Amino acid sequence: MELSNIFGIPAHPLIVHAVVVLVPLAALGAIAVVVSPWVRSHIGWLVAAMAVANVVLVPLATGSGESLEERVNETALVEKHTEMGEQLLPWVLVLAAVIVAFMVLGLLTARRSTDAAAPVWANRWVATGIAAVTVVAASGALVQVARIGHSGAKASWSDVSSAAQLTPGPTG
């Protein structure tokens, strides 16, 4: 997915800000959902929807970044940022899949008749395993967003800071 401009402004910085906010919100929300029944019952489906929305937003961010990369100076920092950006989607995909699975499992378990023998998916270990994968995927997404954001800031501002160091100040 490639989107280069929004109202004449490079789309990448605009879309990235949505990713920088929504991926950590979904990740932290997913951890809260798997550890707190209260959170799960109040905002669990909202967190799952946000995680699924990130599956669309992240490719938009990487696509717009590739479009922007063609218009800026190619540096090692830009290349590193691009490579790191491509590593976020697997974390976001897994996070979306497991939080939706966790919510569906909870729904099925709540609706299950207690008279019948429990199916395999109703086993406590299944929910615990999905919860554990959710925490790992959420943690990975959080770390990766921070790493990508830091590398993007370095790539964007390295020319500015090096130019400021070369330009003499008012006293010098």
The strand pairing partners of 10, in sequence order, are 5
d(CA 86, CA 111): 39
Total count of domains within the chain: 1
Enclosing domain of residue 130: 5-111+119-157
CATH code of the domain covering residue 148: 1.20.120
Q: Report residue 120's pLDDT band, with 50, 70 and 90 as the boundaries.
A: low
State pLDDT tens for residues 43-87: 999 999 999 999 999 999 888 766 666 666 677 777 787 788 889
Question: 13 in a domain, yes or no?
Answer: yes
pTM for the full predicted model? 0.82
E strands in the chain: 5-6, 9-10
d(CA 168, CA 114): 77
